[in-house]
Structure 1
C-alpha cells in the first residue's frame, strides 16, 4: 500500500509517497505555504493528481484542532483559513480514495510510535518545534487526543506573569518557536537572510558570543517546559522534532539545561522523575510518516 502524505506547515507544504512499512519512498520538493483556502485547494490538486494511479489513499497533517471522524479542521493554527474546512469531504469527493486528517503534532508522535524512538513506549511525549510548538501524547501505548481533540497543544501554554493580550508573545509557542530563534539570532549576526538556519547554527556551534547566550536561554525555556509537562504527564521519554531537531547541539544543550535545573531545584527532581530526552527519529519526515500511520489505522477500522 502506497500513501500520498501531505504536511501543511505554516511556511511550507511538504509531500511524499510513504509505504505500508512507513518508509518515505519519495519526497517531493516543498512548496511555499498557501495564504488562503482557494490557493490551498489548488496546491492540493497539483500535489495529488499526478499520483492517483499509484496511491491507495491520502494522508493529511496540518495545524489546528482536527476532528478525525469528519476530517474537519478548527481554528487552523498558523493556517487560520482552514477553520471549518473538511479535507476528508473535499478530497474524497474529488478522488474517491480514503482520506485521513490529523493534527501535525499528533502525526509526529504517531510516527515515533510506529517505528521511531517511541516504539514500544507506553507513555511518551513529542514536542515539535517550527513556527510554534506542537505536541503529541502517547498514553498507555495509544495516541491520546483529549476530550476536544486538543491534547498536546503546547503552543498555547500561558506564562506565569503578564503577557501582551494582543500578540500573545509570551506564549510557549512564541518562546520556543524555531522560526523566532533563528530570526533573532540572524539579526544578532546581521545576516541578510533572517531565516538562514544553517549560518545561525554554525555560529551557535562555534559558541559565537552574539548568539550563544540567546540559544542557551531558548534551551533553558525548553527544559522548563519539559519539566512542567513531566509534572503533569509522567512520561518515559520526550522526543523533540522539527527541522532544528537534526542539530545535535540542540538536544545536548536542552539536556545540559535540565542538568542545571536539577542542581538548582533538587527537591523537585527528587519527586518528579526526569524523562529521557532525545531527537525524533524522523526529523522533518515525521508528519508524513505519522499521517500515513493514522490513515492505515482508519482504513483498518473501516474494514472491520
Structure 2
C-alpha cells in the first residue's frame, strides 16, 4: 500500500499523519510548533524518522505565501522564521522522495474539492474564518494560485474604505475575524476569558442582545465579503470553514444577511444569483487532507 507523510504546520501545533492514496489516516499526532527554525527542522526530521521507509512522498501545508513550484514558504504567517524555508532542500533531498507544499487556506479548499463540499463544483470558494480569513478559489475546476501565489488570501479585502486605509479595522482581516468577534462578545459580557468561544456562542444562542448585535454585524460583514467574491467568480457554492462553522446558527445568519443584502438593492438582487452557502465538510483534519491532495495532483501532473 502506497503511503504518504503529511505535515500541517500551524502557529500553535505541528500536526502530522501517515495517509494512504484514498485519504485514509493510518496514524496521526502533533507536537507544539517550535519557536525557531533549527528546532522546526529537527521536529520535521524526528517525525519523518519515525516512519522512514513507510512513505513514498511528503506533503506539507503551512501559513504564508507558498511557491508551489519551488517548494518554498515565504513570510510564514505567525511563524516568521519560515520565510525562505525550502521543503525540497530540507526533506526531499534527505529522504529521496517527492515533496509538495501548499498554503494552509488553499489546502482547506483542496480538501473540500477532493472529498467535501466543493467536490464536482466548477467554480466556488472556501473561506476559513479564524484569526483572519484564509481560503481558496476554485475556478474552472482548478485551484487558483495567481501570479504570486496569493489568490484567495481574503484577509486584505477592503470593506470599510471610509474609516481609513491605514487601519486594520477597515479590512476583512479584522471585520471577518472569528477571533475578534468572540473577543468582542466576551468583553461585552464581562467574561475574563476573551477567547472562550463556547461562552460567546452560548450567549448568541440565548439571543442576549449585546452578543446578538455583535454576531449579526459580524455575519453581515461575512455576507459583504461573499458578495465581493461572488461579483468576481460567479460561483456555485461558498464553503465556510474554521472552528465556528460547526455552529449551525452561523450559517443560518450568514445566509439571512446575504439575502438581506441582495434585497436592499433591486438591481443588485436582480443580477446577483446567490451561491449555495454551506459549512465545510472537514474540520480539524482539513489541512492534512488538502495537503495530501495537492501532492497527489502534483504527482499525477508529473507522471
Match of 2:105 in 1: 105
Correspondence for 2:284:
284
Give 2:13's aligned residue.
12
Unaligned runs of 5+ in 1: none
Q: How does 1:50-61 map to 2 (within 5 A)?
A: 50-61=50-61
Q: Distance in 2 between matches of 1:173 and 1:147?
A: 22
TM-fit CA distance, 1:103: 0.8
CA contact (8 A) 1:88 1:101 kept: no
Do 2:262 and 2:272's aligned partners in 1 also have CA atoms closer than 8 Å? no
Partner Cα distance (2:26, 2:197) in 1: 26
Q: Is the 8 A contact 1:18 1:24 kept in 2?
A: yes
Q: Kindly report structure 1 stretches of 4+ aligned residues shifted beyond 4 Å.
A: none
Q: TM-score normalized by structure 1? A: 0.91
Q: Distance in 2 between matches of 1:132 and 1:36?
A: 23
> Could you say what secondary structure the match of 1:149 adopts?
coil
CA distance in 2, matches of 1:46, 1:181: 38
* Alignment of structure 1 residues 56-75 onto 2, 5 Å: 56-75=56-75
Q: 1:71 to 1:65 in 2, by over 3 A?
A: same
Deviation, 1:164, is 6.1
Using the alignment, how far apart are the partners of 2:271 and 2:141 within structure 1?
Answer: 24
3-state DSSP class of the match of 1:283?
A: coil
> Counterparts of 1:38 and 1:184 in 2: how far apart (Å)?
37
Change (3 A) 1:12 1:129: farther
The answer on whether the counterparts of 1:185 and 1:214 sit within 8 Å (CA) in structure 2 is yes
Any idea what the Cα deviations from partners look like across 1:236-295, whole Å, max 9, x if unmatched?
100011111111111111011112112212321211111110011112222110110011
Matches within 5 A, 1:209-224: 209-224=209-224
Structure 1's 6 and 236: CA in aligned 2 closer, same or farther, altered over 3 A?
same
Which residue pairs with 2:157 in the alignment?
A: 157
Q: 1:147 is paired with a residue of what secondary structure? A: coil
1:1-304 equivalences under 5 Å are 1-29=2-30, 31-159=31-159, 160-163=161-164, 165=166, 168-302=168-302, 304=303
Could you tell me how far apart the structure 2 residues matched to 1:163 and 1:82 are?
A: 31
* Corresponding pairs, count: 301
When residues 244 and 39 of structure 1 are mapped into structure 2, their CA distance, relative to the original with a 3 A threshold, is farther
| Other structure's SS at 1:105 match | helix
Asked if the contact 1:241–1:284 (Cα under 8 Å) also holds between the matched residues in 2, the reply is no
Assess, with a 3 A threshold, how the Cα gap between structure 1 residues 81 and 23 changes in structure 2: closer, same or farther.
same
Q: Indicate conservation of the 8 Å contact 1:58/1:98, yes or no.
A: yes
Aligned-pair CA distance for 1:79: 2.7
Aligned equivalents of 2:170, 2:11: Cα separation in 1: 19
Provide the C-alpha distance between the structure 1 equivalents of 2:71 and 2:81, rounded to a whole number of angstroms: 15
Aligned to 2:105, the other structure's residue is in SS state helix
Structure 2 CA distance for aligned equivalents of residues 297 and 68 of structure 1:
12
| Runs (5+) with no aligned partner, structure 2 | none
Query: Deviation of residue 196 (structure 1)?
Result: 2.0
- Compared with structure 1, are the counterparts of its residues 155 and 139 closer, same or farther at alpha carbon in structure 2 (3 Å cutoff)? same
**Does structure 2 retain, via aligned residues, the 8 Å contact 1:10–1:131?**
no
The residue matched to 2:15 in structure 1 has which SS? Answer: strand
Aligned in 2, Cα 1:203/1:44: closer, same or farther, shift over 3 Å? farther
Distance in structure 1 (CA, Å) of the matches to 2:225 and 2:179: 18
- TM-score by length of structure 2 reads 0.92
Matched residues in 2 for 1:225 and 1:240: separation?
12
